[in-house]
Chains A and B, each alone.
Chain A
Amino acid sequence: QVQLVESGGGVVQPGRSLRLSCAVSGFTFSDYGMFWVRQAPGKGLEWVAVIWYDGSKKYYGDSVKGRFTISRDNSKNTLYLQMSSLGAEDTAVYHCARWHANGWWDYWGQGTLVTVSS
């Protein structure tokens, strides 16, 4: 069955960096675009970044543009999110999600919590 498992979250000081991973199984990873999305405490879902199936295109939300980098390793079935210059506003649960060819997001991971605090 399709599985997406995030890891790499934790407590990090403001201004530092962190890399999240999303390990997938149960489908051909290289056939799908992938997303990162986050939910801050008490807030709604916010799209963070997207990467095409082959890594050829990437887009970022305005709040993370220039600070976060999405990437993937299709040989390892893993999606990444490199986060830098972290601030308190980046505290959230970060989920990865699979992009169905027709537009919706059909599978999500459980999420990994990132807490930015001194």
Chain B
Amino acid sequence: EIVMTQSPATLSVSPGERATLSCRASQNILTNLAWYRLKHGQSPSLLIYNASTRATGVPSRFGGGGSGTEFTLTISSLQSDDFALYYCQQYNTWPPWTFGQGTKVEIK
């Protein structure tokens, strides 16, 4: 099973500032990685797939990068809607499909 590790667990950021979230895979997953955003009471939404491709309708302030075992999600200028939980997920080797434990982005 591929273990996904996200850091930090919580990120305190002021609106308009930049946030960088990290995700590490226990094995090489090439670029088979997605990022999702979860807000309470809403459907989780796909942000990034193939490590760096923005999903349809996702603003350009979201950027993904990395390959192999190290990945990042960058939010260039945080908006109010961006304070949420973020999860990375690998879809390179399955089953199981595995997620990181999540990063909470909160208002500083």
Contacts and interface: CB of A to CB of B under 8 A. Distances in A.
A108 B99 contact: no
Contacts, number: 64
Given A45-B102, A103-B32, A105-B89, A110 B43 contact: yes
B95 A108 contact: no
Nearest to A95: B44
Contacts of A95: 43-44
Interface in A35-61: 35, 39, 44-47, 50, 59, 61
Contact of B43 (A47, A59, A102, A109): A109
Interface residues of B, number: 26
Contact of A104 (B41, B43, B46): B46
A116 to B, nearest CB: 21
Chain B interface SS verdict (over half): loop
B102 A105 contact: no
A24 interface: no
Interface string A96-114: 0100101111111111000
16 contacts: A35-B97, A44-B99, A44-B102, A47-B99, A50-B95, A59-B96, A61-B96, A62-B96, A104-B91, A106-B46, A106-B49, A106-B55, A107-B43, A109-B43, A110-B41, A110-B42
